[in-house]
Amino acid sequence: MNIREVVDSLSLDVKTEKGDLGRTVTGCYISDLLSDVMANAKEGEVWITLQTHPNIAAVAALKNLACIIITNKRNPEEETLKKAEDERITVAVSPLSTFEVGGMLYTLLRC
């Protein structure tokens, strides 16, 4: 499954333009603690978080994550999107809760 299919299936609103939507998604990691993501998320995974500040783009880039999904109607800061574009990381948002997005993604990736 690639990012585009995840975006379509979860009706996500993509906030970036330069990310590779054709990139394969290998899994998902859910956390709002950035050190936890650095320690435990794996390359190619989607990261679901409530955090919106620019450091999430740096962490995602450093871990080579596929995409960041920000939940609960939160919007990324302008600087976050700028950094994400620089790093070609896709950032998408959802009005749903982390639980709901995570649950839907779990079903998608396990099927």
Partner 1 sequence: MEANKNTEGSFHLTGGDFTNAGAASSELKSILTNLNISPDIVRRAAIATFEGEMNVIIHAVAGVMYYLITPDCIKVVLNDMGPGIPDIQQAMREGYSTAPDWVREMGWGAGMGLPNMKKNSDEFRIDSVVGEGTTVEVIIKIKEDKTP
Write out the H or E segment, with its range, that includes residue 45: strand 45-49
Task: Supply 8's token pair.
Answer: 């379509």
43 alpha carbon, distance to own chain's centre = 12
Find the binding residues for partner 1 in span 45-74 (CB under 8 A).
49, 51, 53-56, 58-59, 61-63
Burial of 27 (0-12, 13-18, 19+ CB in 10 A): middle
- What number of chain residues touch partner 1 (CB under 8 A)? 21
Site for partner 1 contains 13 (CB under 8 A): no
Stretch that binds partner 1, among 5-13, 22-30, 31-39, 66-74 (CB under 8 A): 31-39
Contact of 56 with 83, CB cutoff 8 Å: no
Find the binding residues for partner 1 in span 81-110 (CB under 8 A).
none
Binding site for partner 1 (CB under 8 A): 31-36, 38-39, 43, 49, 51, 53-56, 58-59, 61-63, 79
